[in-house]
Amino acid sequence: MNPLLYFLLLAPAAHAAVNLPSIFTDHMVLQRDKAVPVWGKATPGEEVSVEFAGQKKSAKADVNGKWMVKLDPMPANAEPQALKAGNVSVQDVLIGEVWLASGQSNMEWEMQMKPDSKADISNTTHPNLRLIEVPKTTALPPQDDVPAAWARSSPESAATFSAVGYYFGLKLHEELKVPVGIILSAWGGTRIEPWTSLEGFDAVPELKDFVADVRSKLPGSDAYRIAHEKHLAAVTQWQQAVQTALEKKQPVPVTPNQPSTLTAGAGTPTALYNAMIHPLVPFSIRGAIWYQGESNHNEGFVYTEKKKALLASWRSVFQQPELPFYFVQIAPFQYGTEEADILPQFWQAQRKCLDIPHTGMAVITDIGEVPDIHPAKKNEVARRLSLWALSKTYGRSEIDPNGPLYASHSLEDTAIRVKFAHADSGLASRDGKPLTHFEIAGRDGLFQPAEAKIDGDSVVLTSAKVPQPRRARFAWSKLAIANLMDKDGLPATAFHTHWPVDPDLGDNFAKGCTWTSSDKNTYGWDTGLTDGSWASFNPNSYATGNSDQFPKHVTINLKQPRTLNLILVGAPEIGSTKTVAISVSTDGKTFREVGKHEFPLAKSARAAISFPDTEAQYLRLTYLDHHTQQAGGFPNTFGFTTEVEAYRVR
């Protein structure tokens, strides 16, 4: 045997390099008082040792080369230490509090982009505040890593970092006196769906149709394979039909439509979760802050369900069922020619998210800038988010992070008394002027400006134009920057005493009911008819197919016989919906028309069809005709409907 070969065989085998994901770099912060996962890749079967703060843990790489250890919980420590994993050494590691900051452009908005935050850049040198930004990228399958690096807070690193993320981290650093790390993963203009995993959507029954549609378009999924196998069979039949047609000198049939395929983009459901959240998993964090919603603001309470999915997603993968999650209620903004009440309805959907355990909402309606969707006062936004963290996560029970929230109302002769929760410190006018943006209405629902007087934890509303008030609303406009606050300076949240559940109407019997169509839509718009949202676009607006055969209809099954006397129906500003007839039936076979309405072209509108008490289990919308012009670029043969509601008004 060759002597050199002999000695090489006797020499110890050289270990392949151990790799850590990019969340483990110099200047990082590890979460205190929690087990800390450390993971990476190595040669399959290799034993990897991790050493840090006097601990030594070992793990063997699996057949895919993946390994993980968990360091025992450690107290905060501002002394730089080294973390060693095999041949890798990460320097200047601190132990403290770690938070994830995510969302769209208002979370991404850099320190250098507004005068007030730009003026603070020179004062951003804080060695124990650490920052890391995940680069913008997308993926269809979940990714294990994304290139990023931690940095100490300094004018160089903070200038291009999220202003909300920086200020939030600084507030916690100053209050808790421990190192703080902020992980920024945000992308301007994005919706909530790309930040959520498929498993998160699966956890919310109300989104089953949505996630089924996503899976049917996702390469590699069973649903995608089945859809394309069916398409392949249809194409085979088509080829045979073509051959027959050619032989008989007849017209060739139309090629079968190919099923849709998702491509990775900033708007693709799950694509940002896969590329910008999953690579962080299962890094130990304390909680998350979220500033997003502008891109979803026109879909009402469906957003609440999507927020549930987002939280189910993140809480599962970070293995924290009670992960604190504090979010910003978006600010007033013009939103073009959109109806003024669409944004307030979204504010209510955001408030409804407070029903999800371990969440909090920072209200910023008082610091919005109507002409600018990116209001400047990010320091104050971060301060209000930090109040939630300090109160609910860090036990500062003396802090109430809520501003005044509508609790109840009562009728008092010619007035309405509105009672607020979280008003223990007292109510006040922010500018010392009379309270603004309060309105009241009688049974007719025609709102008039109201005079508003503070009385303890209540506001008493009156108007000479409404002698018998029955309902009230506050800041119910996309432009409303109202002045009611508590004595701590936190603003009151917009409310409407008769929305979304109108006590004068009772239950909406159509909510959540299923339907069938005489002209089924095959373009992904076969949703939204009874979801409670009056939004004008998919997935919250319904459409028939685009056949040119009129009339066409959609029939809703109310699940059981109901006594009805009022149907509310709407058409969006898109499409050419014109005359819609409303019919009812007890057996789903024989229908009786109870009214109809002609909708205008290119304008969002709603109609109320009233009729005497009628027993019915089936409700049918019949699209009798359509406008000849198009609106929104859609063929005029689609029948679009934003929502249908069914009531018995007593």
Neighbouring residues of 258: CB distance < 8 A, sequence distance ≥ 6: 231
Q: Is the pLDDT of residue 12 over 70?
A: no
- What radius of gyration, in Å, describes the C-alpha atoms of the chain? 29
**Residue type (1 letter), 61:** A
Question: Residue for token digits 């999220």?
Answer: 162
As a whole number of angstroms, the distance between CA 517 and CA 531 comes to 16
Q: Which residue has the higher pLDDT, 597 or 504?
A: 597
Is-contact 179 128, C-beta < 8 A? yes
Structure confidence at residue 431 (pLDDT): 97
**Residue type (1 letter), 621:** L
* pLDDT mean over 586-604: 96
* pLDDT mean over 58-81: 98
What is each CA distance from 20 to 48, 71, 95, 168, 185, in whole angstroms? 11, 15, 18, 28, 19
Q: Encode 43-69: b = buried (16+ Cβ within 10 Å), e = exposed.
A: eeebebebbbbeeebebebeeebebeb
Q: Which two tokens stand for residue 356?
A: 């999800």
Q: Is the pLDDT of residue 585 over 90?
A: yes
Question: Residue for token digits 């957003």?
Answer: 303
Antiparallel, parallel or unpaired: β 515-517 and 66-71: unpaired
Beta bridge partners of 126: 153
| pLDDT confidence bin for 272, thresholds 50/70/90 | very high
Q: Is the pLDDT of residue 4 over 80?
A: no
Task: Report how far Cα 595 is from the mean position of its chain's Cα atoms.
Answer: 37
* Cis amide leading into 251 (omega within 30): no
Q: Is the pLDDT of residue 10 over 50?
A: no
- Closest by alpha carbon to 604, among 638, 642, 635? 642
| DSSP strands (E only) in 321-450 | 325-329, 359-363, 405-412, 415-421, 427-429, 438-441, 448-449
As a whole number of angstroms, the distance between CA 351 and CA 405 comes to 9
Least confident of 278-282, 344-348, 455-459, 524-528: 524-528
Q: Which CATH architecture has domain 515-647?
A: Sandwich (2.60)
As a whole number of angstroms, the distance between CA 299 and CA 167 comes to 30
Is-contact 66 39, C-beta < 8 A? yes
SS3 readout for 546-615: CCCCCCEEEEEEEEEEEEEEEEEEEECCCCCECEEEEEEECCCCCCEEEEEEECCCCCCEEEEEEEEEEE
Cα torsion 401, 405, 407, 413: sign: positive
Structure confidence at residue 9 (pLDDT): 43
Structure confidence at residue 43 (pLDDT): 96
pLDDT one-digit tens code per residue, 18-36:
999 999 999 999 999 999 9
As a whole number of angstroms, the distance between CA 473 and CA 425 comes to 23
* pLDDT mean over 524-532: 91
Question: Residue for token digits 């498993």?
Answer: 199
Structure confidence at residue 573 (pLDDT): 93
Is-contact 594 614, C-beta < 8 A? yes
SS3 354: helix
Q: Is the pLDDT of residue 58 over 80?
A: yes
As a whole number of angstroms, the distance between CA 287 and CA 285 comes to 6
* pLDDT mean over 52-66: 97
Task: Report how far Cα 172 is from the mean position of its chain's Cα atoms.
Answer: 25
DSSP structure class, residue 491: B
Helix (H) or strand (E) holding 57: strand 55-60
As a whole number of angstroms, the distance between CA 266 and CA 155 comes to 29
| pLDDT confidence bin for 650, thresholds 50/70/90 | confident
Structure confidence at residue 11 (pLDDT): 41
| pLDDT confidence bin for 417, thresholds 50/70/90 | very high
* pLDDT mean over 461-473: 96
* pLDDT mean over 530-534: 87
Q: Which two tokens stand for residue 157?
A: 């690193």
Structure confidence at residue 88 (pLDDT): 97
What is the CB neighbour count within 10 angstroms for residue 298? 21
Structure confidence at residue 2 (pLDDT): 54
Q: Which two tokens stand for residue 328?
A: 């910003």
Beta bridge partners of 106: none
Average pLDDT of the chain, as a whole number: 95
Q: Which two tokens stand for residue 138?
A: 């997308």
As a whole number of angstroms, the distance between CA 347 and CA 481 comes to 13
Q: Is the pLDDT of residue 642 over 50?
A: yes
pLDDT-above-70 percentage for the chain: 98
Q: Which two tokens stand for residue 314?
A: 């993140």
* pLDDT mean over 535-555: 93
What is each CA distance from 348 to 294, 295, 354, in whole angstroms? 14, 16, 10
Q: Is the pLDDT of residue 76 over 90?
A: yes
* pLDDT mean over 316-329: 98
Structure confidence at residue 14 (pLDDT): 44
Antiparallel, parallel or unpaired: β 88-103 and 77-85: antiparallel
* pLDDT mean over 486-495: 97
pLDDT one-digit tens code per residue, 213-250:
999 999 999 999 999 999 999 999 999 999 999 999 99
The CATH 2.60.120.260 portion of the chain extends over 515-647
- Torsions phi, psi for 70 (to 5 deg): -125, 120
pLDDT one-digit tens code per residue, 469-480:
999 999 999 999
Task: Report how far Cα 164 is from the mean position of its chain's Cα atoms.
Answer: 18
pLDDT-above-90 percentage for the chain: 91
Phi-psi region of 65 (alpha: psi -120 to 50; beta: other; left: phi over 0): left
Q: Which residue has the higher pLDDT, 291 or 300?
A: 291
